[in-house]
């Protein structure tokens, strides 16, 4: 059985770096300006809030399990879609698991996460639970979950497909979407607009750095946030002096 489709958009190294430096809050603002309102995955927590995550979505979809399916293939590396996904995910890809928001059992564990990390994966996102969370907190691997749960996945989950459109945290995630994570959470960016979103978000944060410096110095937000023409002129001069335009 064939799963999914090849990625159609690859980002430049410069864009990757801009996304690593830009907050998910700023990215959601830029996406809202482009008409995208539902792009931030709700209800997830970062197990390693000190790590940033940027990569391409590689999706895994779970259905509810049933007693006559799933258990006989739980540890079968040749037929279990979860196991197949572990050996299919590639470099700079983020495993995004559609666990239906279900937290009565884990959706993934530490050994499988170690394998995808060694394959070059950029992170792990699940709108369900994970087991082995103490080990995840010691792992240099960006991971986002809804809750911890020690019980194995097959108690409530049946893996049915990979690299297909899924819902995660109430958000549509397409294979190849750009997935960015920080301490606040995870945002999904359609790949075809990721370059422009990254550039505009980077510019927005430079402007907001200048605005914040004025507010910290005692300025009113009037004419500053949002900036009027006078403030924008001051900002242009600040950029020139600081070398940001070079």
Domain spans of the chain, in order of start = 37-189, 196-242
How far separated are the first and last CA of the chain, in Å rounded? 52
- How far apart are alpha carbons 214 and 197 in whole angstroms? 26
Q: Is 112 annotated as a binding residue?
A: yes
- How far apart are alpha carbons 226 and 233 in whole angstroms? 13
Average pLDDT of the segment spanning 189-207: 97
- Could you tell me which CATH number the domain at 37-189 has? 3.50.30.40
Residue 67 pLDDT grade (very low, low, confident, very high; cuts 50, 70, 90):
confident
209 with 202: CB under 8 angstroms?
no
Average pLDDT of the chain is: 94
**Res 78 pLDDT > 90:** no
Q: Is 110 annotated as a binding residue?
A: yes
Q: Is 109 annotated as a binding residue?
A: yes
Task: Check residue 231 and report its DSSP letter.
Answer: H
Q: Is 132 annotated as a binding residue?
A: yes
**Res 190 pLDDT > 80:** yes
Q: Is 111 annotated as a binding residue?
A: yes
Taking phi over 0 as left and psi of -120 to 50 as alpha, with beta for the rest, 131 belongs to beta
Predicted local confidence at residue 216, as pLDDT: 97
Average pLDDT of the segment spanning 2-11: 71
Please, where are the H alpha helices in 119-193? 133-137
Q: What is the pLDDT of residues 121-149, one digit of tens each?
A: 999 999 999 999 999 999 999 999 999 99
Q: Is 189 annotated as a binding residue?
A: no
**pTM (two decimals):** 0.93
């Amino acid at each position: 059985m064939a799963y999914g489709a090849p990625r159609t958009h690859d980002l430049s190294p410069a864009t990757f770096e801009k996304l690593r430096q830009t907050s998910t809050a700023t990215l959601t603002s830029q996406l809202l300006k482009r008409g995208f309102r539902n792009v931030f995955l709700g209800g997830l927590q970062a197990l390693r809030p000190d790590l940033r995550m940027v990569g391409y979505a590689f999706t895994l979809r779970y259905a509810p399990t049933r007693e006559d399916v799933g258990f006989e293939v739980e540890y079968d590396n040749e037929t279990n879609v979860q196991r197949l996904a572990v050996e299919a995910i590639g470099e700079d890809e983020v495993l995004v698991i559609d666990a239906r928001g279900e937290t009565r059992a884990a959706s993934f564990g530490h050994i499988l996460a170690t394998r995808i990390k060694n394959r070059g994966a950029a992170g792990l996102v699940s709108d369900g639970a994970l087991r082995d969370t103490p080990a995840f907190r010691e792992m240099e691997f960006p991971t986002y979950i809804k809750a911890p749960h020690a019980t194995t996945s097959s108690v409530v989950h049946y893996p049915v497909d990979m690299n297909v459109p899924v819902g995660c945290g109430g958000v549509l995630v397409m294979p190849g979407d750009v997935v960015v994570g920080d301490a606040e959470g995870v945002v999904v960016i359609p790949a075809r607009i990721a370059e422009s979103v990254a550039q505009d978000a980077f510019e927005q944060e430079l402007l907001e750095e200048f605005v914040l410096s004025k507010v910290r110095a005692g300025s009113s937000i009037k004419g500053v946030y949002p900036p009027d023409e006078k403030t924008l002129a001051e900002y242009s001069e600040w950029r020139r002096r600081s070398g940001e335009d070079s």
